[in-house]
Chain A
């Protein structure tokens, strides 16, 4: 295996403390979770200080690791293989299979670590204000911290088992956070729906992991000496030409089903918009950097398995790209009919996740990961801006049509950050979304999937249009409802009567508690700007939404492609024995590679041919050449989306244009389409009424029939028979023979019982004391006899 070419270059990769100890990052919030649970309520800030401190700690460590990773990459030649920093310990053993826990730190984990820690920190700071005075404030921070710990653990995971651990932790915490205000039935239903829907996908994760383990374990043990759960082992195995196409396809499809559930892809996207029932900071965290990104991360993490299993670059279509494309369009279409501002953002998240999946399916690994990165900032910013509006301007309502409008004058900071993030989301040059989304579309076309490139462009048009609609309804036009300073009736009734919007209803309770603490910020009931704890995170996120695209600004030339240099795994054939870890301190490693392969511009055959003199850890990826002509097309489409949507919105919502208003009522076809969208393609009906019923109802009905007819028949028959026998026994044996004996012995027992009766005090504790006393005496007797 280790045939090293005659001319070799020794590549020394530097390392450092932060890189070597990155496994500590998820442990920090996990410890903070325990501290909050045990001591949170007694702390001056009710436990939020632990949460924020732990997230800052995780952020510092992530940034440190990121800095050292950049040093490591910059110190190596341009095309050299950069070894990830892998550490592993045995966690537990089962039937001779050791299950490890550790870290697998490469560019992908570094970038997600930084994003997660950063967004979590901001969200926690924001929450201290947003949930001020909430009745379960401490528990909220505990769940939020554990949620981040789960995601961080998934990101550093060395093997699939550790990844599942983080994955499930997130599932559990999302359940707790979405159902945070569980007193309202709608919230707890949304929490259950999120949990069950993602669990449906999780079956795929378990199946896929075990299929891949049994297929890969022998090869990985023999060749690399690692288990078949190891991410590095699976990656190398997938590209080795060893796996049978059935095994790897089944494994990849099963794992992708898990990603569909977690990342809200069609057809399991229905839980994501309902998850808006949670507090807004939760939505922000859930939709930007954790939870929903988990599925995309899974695909990016063990990309070689999907690369081989789905035949990416090979055939015309594959499962991932199709699901991604469907998701883009259907979610964007749904965003048009929403009146709840958070639901617009939720469907926009679903649609953007579709872009990431489509990118991964087309082999555009880097643009997809870069889109995770930029999307995290602008989507977190949009959600927090929506929260800021509901917190300070619209009386905890999220209804754009009823309670918003004209807010740009009252909330200049929120408005500015919203506009920046909207432009980034729509992909307007030079905001960050342009650099990532346009790259995905471009690379999808470059890889030969022309139809899907047009789907991507259609999605870009729709994104621009529905975001313009939402912006218009929220910030322009005349103020309506709460935004116009109208006093909600239910405000006085402390939010216990019927309310259209369940979320607003629940927030109301928090608000009632708020009032009770005597910090009434609602002295004047008009809309106004939020406090600094809310606006500062918004400003930071908006700045990043504007500037983060420059990290991989392909249009400006290759020297701007830092993200590609630092993050993208290099598809290089690496000799199995060619890595020397003994050198230097701090895990410095030396990779010995043929001279030719470390020079710039070299393209290996990884992913195309079976490597003969080593293993590949990543396929050689293709990159589209940027052309302004192609970018101009997508920018023109985005501009058209904004302009058309703006005019339609003005006509529809302000001028009350006679042709447009009520069009869906007058035209049957459009009306049917509208109803189809409002009912979310009837998918919820399909799942809850048809699938669940058709499976659960016949089972329960069958069980009921068996119970009524067979079991009851047996029981009744036996009952009648025994009753006849019993009657005879009673008359002859019981009354005459037994009773006589019993009465006599009863008398005797009563005499004896009256002696020990005082012991039976009826106090359980006393019984316990007697029992243990007797046992102690028994033990003493045993000891004495045996000595």
Chain B
């Protein structure tokens, strides 16, 4: 079983996602990066589940997909509201949470 390759792929996807979250200023792109991170986790879950020969990982992956869908729904709604109020989706302009 080539678990290593799966893990490498997941790690690469994860890093790309983290990079996106930190660097990108566009809220939609940040949401997409978060999706990448979630899916890298899915790959890990499924890779280990394959190696252990149990379906638990698959089940968890399905949960993660469902949660991700909900998260994107909420996220996009927020982006939409942001756009309505400020006419932009740039995150650098949003510092209302500044303490």
Q: Please name the residue on chain B nearest to A770 by beta carbon.
A: B22
In the bound complex, residues from chain B placing their C-beta under 8 Å from that of A759 are 99
Are B96's CB and A762's CB within 8 A? yes
Assembled-state Cα–Cα distance A757/B30 (Å):
24
Are A768's CB and B98's CB within 8 A? no
**A762 in complex: contacting residue of B18, B24, B94, CB < 8 Å:** B94
Are B91's CB and A763's CB within 8 A? yes
Specify which of A759, A761, A768 lies most central, judged by the most chain B CB atoms within 10 Å of its CB. Answer: A768
In the bound complex, residues from chain A placing their C-beta under 8 Å from that of B22 are 765, 768-769, 772
Are A763's CB and B99's CB within 8 A? no
Assembled-state Cα–Cα distance A118/B42 (Å):
44
Q: Please name the residue on chain A nearest to B99 by beta carbon.
A: A760
Answer whether A760 and B18 are a contact pair too, CB < 8 Å, given A765-B23, A765-B25, A765-B91: no
**A753 in complex: contacting residue of B18, B27, B98, B99, CB < 8 Å:** B99
Contact with B along A753-787 (1 / 0, CB 8 A): 10001011111110011001000000000000000
CB within 8 Å of A: which B39-96 residues = 91-92, 94-96
Q: Is B21 at the interface (CB under 8 A from chain A)?
A: yes
Q: Is B1 at the interface (CB under 8 A from chain A)?
A: no
In the bound complex, residues from chain A placing their C-beta under 8 Å from that of B99 are 753, 757, 759-762
Are A765's CB and B98's CB within 8 A? no
Are A762's CB and B98's CB within 8 A? yes
Are A765's CB and B30's CB within 8 A? yes
Shortest beta-carbon distance from B38 to chain A in Å: 14
In the bound complex, residues from chain B placing their C-beta under 8 Å from that of A764 are 27, 30, 91, 94
Overall SS of chain A's interface: helix
Assembled-state Cα–Cα distance A759/B30 (Å):
20
Assembled-state Cα–Cα distance A23/B95 (Å):
55
Shortest beta-carbon distance from A776 to chain B in Å: 9
Are A761's CB and B95's CB within 8 A? yes
Range, interface on chain A: 10 to 19
Assembled-state Cα–Cα distance A762/B96 (Å):
6
Assembled-state Cα–Cα distance A673/B55 (Å):
67
**B21 in complex: contacting residue of A760, A761, A762, A768, CB < 8 Å:** A768
In the bound complex, residues from chain B placing their C-beta under 8 Å from that of A765 are 21-25, 30, 91-92
In the bound complex, residues from chain A placing their C-beta under 8 Å from that of B27 are 764
Q: Please name the residue on chain A nearest to B92 by beta carbon.
A: A763
Specify which of B24, B25, B30, B95 lies most central, judged by the most chain A CB atoms within 10 Å of its CB. Answer: B95
Are A763's CB and B18's CB within 8 A? no
Assembled-state Cα–Cα distance A753/B94 (Å):
21
CB within 8 Å of B: which A474-504 residues = none
Assembled-state Cα–Cα distance A762/B99 (Å):
7
Contact with A along B10-25 (1 / 0, CB 8 A): 0000000010011111
In the bound complex, residues from chain A placing their C-beta under 8 Å from that of B98 are 760-762
Range, interface on chain B: 10 to 19
- The total of Cβ contacts below 8 Å across the A-B interface reads 40
In the bound complex, residues from chain A placing their C-beta under 8 Å from that of B95 are 761-763
In the bound complex, residues from chain B placing their C-beta under 8 Å from that of A769 are 21-22
Shortest beta-carbon distance from B69 to chain A in Å: 20
Contact with B along A278-312 (1 / 0, CB 8 A): 00000000000000000000000000000000000
In the bound complex, residues from chain B placing their C-beta under 8 Å from that of A768 are 18, 21-22, 30
**B97 in complex: contacting residue of A753, A760, A772, CB < 8 Å:** A760
Q: Please name the residue on chain B nearest to A766 by beta carbon.
A: B22
Shortest beta-carbon distance from A546 to chain B in Å: 55
In the bound complex, residues from chain A placing their C-beta under 8 Å from that of B18 are 768, 772
Q: Please name the residue on chain B nearest to A763 by beta carbon.
A: B95
Assembled-state Cα–Cα distance A762/B92 (Å):
9
Assembled-state Cα–Cα distance A769/B91 (Å):
14
In the bound complex, residues from chain B placing their C-beta under 8 Å from that of A762 are 94-99
Assembled-state Cα–Cα distance A759/B99 (Å):
8
In the bound complex, residues from chain B placing their C-beta under 8 Å from that of A760 are 97-99
In the bound complex, residues from chain A placing their C-beta under 8 Å from that of B94 are 762-764
Assembled-state Cα–Cα distance A769/B97 (Å):
16
In the bound complex, residues from chain A placing their C-beta under 8 Å from that of B92 are 763, 765
CB within 8 Å of B: which A722-777 residues = 753, 757, 759-765, 768-769, 772
Assembled-state Cα–Cα distance A772/B23 (Å):
13
Assembled-state Cα–Cα distance A761/B92 (Å):
11
Assembled-state Cα–Cα distance A764/B90 (Å):
10
Assembled-state Cα–Cα distance A753/B30 (Å):
28
Shortest beta-carbon distance from A87 to chain B in Å: 29
CB within 8 Å of B: which A329-377 residues = none
In the bound complex, residues from chain A placing their C-beta under 8 Å from that of B91 are 763-765
Shortest beta-carbon distance from A403 to chain B in Å: 43
In the bound complex, residues from chain A placing their C-beta under 8 Å from that of B96 are 762
Shortest beta-carbon distance from A95 to chain B in Å: 13
In the bound complex, residues from chain A placing their C-beta under 8 Å from that of B97 are 760, 762
In the bound complex, residues from chain A placing their C-beta under 8 Å from that of B24 are 765
Assembled-state Cα–Cα distance A772/B33 (Å):
13
Shortest beta-carbon distance from A757 to chain B in Å: 5
Shortest beta-carbon distance from A233 to chain B in Å: 31
Assembled-state Cα–Cα distance A305/B53 (Å):
43
Specify which of A757, A762, A764 lies most central, judged by the most chain B CB atoms within 10 Å of its CB. Answer: A764
- Can you list 27 A-B pairs, Cβ within 8 angstroms, ordered by A? A753-B99, A757-B99, A760-B98, A760-B99, A761-B98, A761-B99, A762-B95, A762-B96, A762-B98, A763-B92, A763-B94, A763-B95, A764-B27, A764-B91, A764-B94, A765-B21, A765-B23, A765-B24, A765-B91, A768-B18, A768-B21, A768-B22, A768-B30, A769-B21, A772-B18, A772-B21, A772-B22
- A: residues with CB less than 8 A from B are 753, 757, 759-765, 768-769, 772
Q: A765-B22, A765-B23, A765-B92 are in contact. List 19 more A-B contacts (CB 8 A).
A: A753-B99, A760-B98, A761-B95, A761-B99, A762-B97, A762-B98, A762-B99, A763-B92, A763-B95, A764-B94, A765-B24, A765-B25, A765-B30, A768-B18, A768-B21, A768-B30, A769-B21, A772-B18, A772-B22
The 9 closest A-B pairs by CB, nearest first: A760-B99, A762-B98, A762-B95, A768-B21, A762-B97, A769-B22, A757-B99, A764-B91, A772-B18
